[in-house]
Each structure stands twice: as structure tokens, then as C-alpha cells.
Amino acid sequence: MNALTQQFTIEKAVSNLPAEELARSLADAQPAEIIAAALRTVGRDRLALVSSFGTESAALLKVMADVDPAIPVIFLDTGWIFEETLAYRDTLIERLGLRDVRSIKPVKETLAQKDPDGDLWFSNPDACCRIRKVEPLSRALEPFDAWINGRKRFQGGLRATIPVVEQHGARLKFNPFANASRQEIETIYENADLPPHPLVAAGFLSVGCMPCTSRTEAGEDARAGRWRGRAKTECGIHTTAST
């Protein structure tokens, strides 16, 4: 068996593995290797990367762009996104040469019916996230068999034990930065001279929707400013399986 045939055999074997076996085979892989494995597993047309274009998003987008800048990127434009985040999205698209970024919005009729006054975020933040993020993402992922996201174990909470690959409903979910340290993320920014999110300098270490995002105080966890004062720590796109 020559080297080319051997490599094809290995790649074909990886592409047929279920989530748990993929997670084991990629447990010590670098982020770029995990993204490349995702491509081999389902192909570009069936793979998407979901990005908030938040404070750490540029690192994952940079790694993805180095592997294949044409992988579709899904951005959830909830209607409550900071203007700075929208501008940052456009900056990174141009800077990294991203070729297929899709901004997905909530259904207008759903907003009119369930959040006519725009205050659902206050009375029922879970319901707000559901109609502005969870449902739009479920719709956006319909053409895909797998998706990539930027969660990291060092973020703690429900993220502390995430595997490199997991089954999420009917789809595979790849977590290329599961094993990454904060220093490794910072090194990617430094080596690629990536611009920081504009709100970082103002004390926002994790940025989501405007009403549910606040500045992080000294000594607090980076995500402490999300849904401050509530037990809620996730929007639901990672805890609600899409069909």
C-alpha cells in the first residue's frame, strides 16, 4: 500500500466513525486538524461553523479560514446585537477572506406574536433566546450534517467537560477549541495580528445580545457579564438539540 492510498484509507475510516469514536480519535488533535476532520467527515456542503463574532471568535474563524475559507459561517442576528459586533463581523469577513457568511434573523411573524413589545428578554429570557437564537439556528442548520463552534472547557459551567466531537440531535458537533487554553487563544490573536472586538477595551469580556450583556468586573469569570443576576448561563443553542 503506497502512502497516498494509506492516507485515503485513514481519512475514509475517520469519516465513518460515530461521534464517540471521532472524539477519541481526535482527543489530542490541534484545532485545525479537528476542522479538517470535520470536512472529511461530511464535506464542505454539509458543514457549517456557527459564530457569534464575539470577543474570542476571531481565533476560531482564523483557524477555519486557514483550512478552508469557503466553509459556511452562520451568524445569528437576533435584533439585539451590538452595533460594534456587526461592524466586527464585517471587519473579520474582509480580513480573513471568509467567503460564505450567512446572517440569520428571527422570523418577523414570530417576533410580532411572541415579543411584540421587545421586552421578552426581561420577563422570560429563555423564551427570548428560543425565538431569537435557538429556532433561527435550527432553521439555518437544516442543510447541514455537522457544525463547528468555539466553546472551550476553560469557560467552565456546562462547558467544563465538553468533548472534541459530540452528537447533537441529528448532527455532529465539532468543538475544535475544547482543549485550548486561554493563552493558546491569545497566541492565535497575536501571531495573526487579529483585531480585538471593539467592546473588549470597554470591559466586555464576553458579548452577546445588548440587554443581557454587561461589563465584567475585575476577578470575575469572563462570562459573568452574561445574564447577570440570573441562573441562566447558556442561550440554548448548545443545550437544545436540533432535529
The residue extents of the domains of the chain are 23-225
Residue 240 has pLDDT above 50, yes or no: yes
* Average pLDDT over all residues of the chain: 89
pLDDT tens digits, 110-126: 999 999 999 999 999 99
What is the per-residue pLDDT across 78-97, written as a single tens digit (0 to 9) for each?
999 999 999 999 999 999 99
Mean pLDDT confidence for 233-240 = 75
Catalytic positions are: 235
| pLDDT value at residue 155 | 78
Instruction: For the chain, give the percent of residues with pLDDT over 90.
Output: 72
Whether the per-residue pLDDT at 162 is higher than 90: the answer is: no
How many whole angstroms from its chain centre is CA 116? 28
Strand partners, 171: 168
Is the pLDDT confidence value at 224 over 70?
A: yes
- Helix or strand or coil: residue 64? helix
Nearest-5° Cα angle at 193, 191 to 199: 125
Residue 159 pLDDT exceeds 80: no
What's the pLDDT score for residue 7? 42
State residue 168's pLDDT score.
Answer: 86
Q: In whole angstroms, what is the distance from residue 110 CA to residue 103 CA? A: 18
Of 67-71, 153-157, 169-173, 183-187, the least confident? 153-157
Would you list the DSSP string of 87-146? HHHHHHHHHHT---EEEE---HHHHHHH-TTS-HHHH-HHHHHIIIIIHHHHHHTTT-SE
Percent of the chain exceeding pLDDT 70 equals 91
pLDDT at res. 241: 59
Q: How confident is the model over 2-13, as pLDDT tens digits? A: 444 444 443 444
Q: What is the CATH number of domain 23-225?
A: 3.40.50.620
C-beta of residue 51 within 8 angstroms of C-beta of residue 61: yes
Split at pLDDT 50, 70, 90, the class of 157 is confident
| Residue 16's pLDDT band (cuts 50, 70, 90) | low
